Amino acid sequence: MNQYRKLGDLLVEQGLITNLQLSVALSAQQSTNRRLGEILIERGYATEEQISACLAEQYGYPHWQPEVQRPEPAALDQISSNIALSYCVLPLRIVDDAFECALADPIDVITTDLLSQLVRRRLILYIAPQGRLTKAIRSAYRLEEGPVVEPMGEAAFVPERFINPKPRRRLGIATLMDAYDRELDRKVTLQCVSAGSVEEWEQFQLVRACARTQNKSICTVYDWLEANDHRWSVLEPMEGETLEQVLRTRGARTIAQAAEIVAQIADGVEALNQNGGRCGLVCPSNIFIRWNGPMLAPIANPPANYGCPEVFSESNSPASADVFALGTLLWECATGENPHATGENGVWWGDANKAVANMPDAFRKVVAGCLESDPTKRFSSPFHLANTLRSYNWAALSHADEAKRFDKPGDRDHLLELLEGGEADRPSLWRRLFSRKRAA
């Protein structure tokens, strides 16, 4: 029987890290309660591939071989792309009663329990480095990566305080990159613009909006500093994907999902309104969808079709303008399209009372309450909107709205006739209501 060996000891034995580096990482693990492998990678002591190889040896799981074990469509159909990306799991294939998949962390109980519940099969696990696995997941589900900045010259000017910068892409007016703050011992996301540029002033306005308050739905701003002729905003780690990318690659959200996303963002916007005026950040490109809820971040200036009709008038108020933007977001989440049109001559705002297919009446009323042309007729605040969205059971309303097509007097009369007529007549009711024959 093989003797259990600790990850740190394996890395030291193989000469990948020193005893001193292991001691530093173990001390950080005790104070942060995070995994040792994650700390070693962040500090640059070891690579993802080295950690993955040692985990495979430590727990006895085989390595995933991408050139041999390619994802099969039947396995991919069992796990949605959202779950695959959120939990970093790549479905591979189904063999009899077993489900094969690749994971970055095979001892993550939450992930393995979720997979077992979804696939209802015995799991066969393989280990793979997280970076390679994420790329493979995007490729398998045909998800877009987003425009990458080339060349990523800003990474060469990162202040010495931040190590292991990993450029992601250009979002909005700034270059976005992940890094590790070795002075405060934590992961951060950096945004970089050239000092003295117009982009610096624009980025400062966005960052200052988020820096007004602390809220779980608002990105935390750690610092705003200048170094190496660049201006850096230091933010909490931005995990997940932007809502813009989710809508573009996976389509509109359900009514219930759209309501919950907007309600949580509205909570954050209300906190910002209470601490300094208009938020002015609401749009899909500024919202990151994370495993623990959406987060509004200072990425880009919202497009013109997220502004309100009175934006240039003296009657424009912070709360009513943000409510209008939240209503636009609610519409776009539920339909995948912005209700307002833009052109060379400006913005044509959509009709607040326009009926949208497959929307419950209550949902349309909430949207109309946000998009009224008269600011005094909108929801009084983002807080009011959030409470209204949470006062409905949207999943039940969606099903009830769908059922209205069959709730006609003729259907009720026919139902009574069938109940009086006996069991033999009931299949015709099934055909009448659902337009299909009952399965034999």
Q: Return the pLDDT at 423.
A: 47
Strands 98-103 and 122-127 turn out to be parallel
Q: Return the pLDDT at 326.
A: 94
Torsional sign, CA 141, 173, 192, 285:
negative
> CB 305: neighbour CB atoms within 10 A?
18
Q: Return the pLDDT at 346.
A: 65
Q: Return the pLDDT at 356.
A: 60
**355 to each of 26, 279, 363, how far by Cα in Å?**
59, 29, 10
Question: Which segments within 76-147 are labelled E, that is strand?
Answer: 89-95, 98-103, 122-127
Q: Return the pLDDT at 198.
A: 83
The pLDDT profile of the chain, 440 residues, written as one tens digit per residue, is: 344 567 778 788 888 888 888 888 888 777 665 677 777 877 788 888 888 887 777 777 888 888 888 899 999 999 888 788 878 899 999 998 899 999 887 767 778 888 888 898 999 999 888 888 888 888 898 875 544 444 445 555 788 888 888 877 666 667 788 888 888 878 899 988 888 888 888 888 888 888 878 888 999 999 988 888 888 899 998 877 889 888 888 788 888 889 999 999 999 999 888 887 667 889 999 999 887 789 999 888 888 888 887 765 555 567 888 999 999 999 999 888 888 877 666 667 776 666 565 678 889 889 989 988 888 889 999 999 999 998 888 877 665 554 554 444 555 555 455 445 544 444 444 454 444 444 44
Of the chain, the end-to-end C-alpha distance in Å amounts to: 54
Residue 398: is it exposed, middle or buried by C-beta count within 10 angstroms (0-12/13-18/19+)?
middle
Q: Return the pLDDT at 76.
A: 92
Question: Which segments within 62-204 are labelled E, that is strand?
Answer: 89-95, 98-103, 122-127, 162-171, 174-181, 186-194
Residue 403: is it exposed, middle or buried by C-beta count within 10 angstroms (0-12/13-18/19+)?
exposed
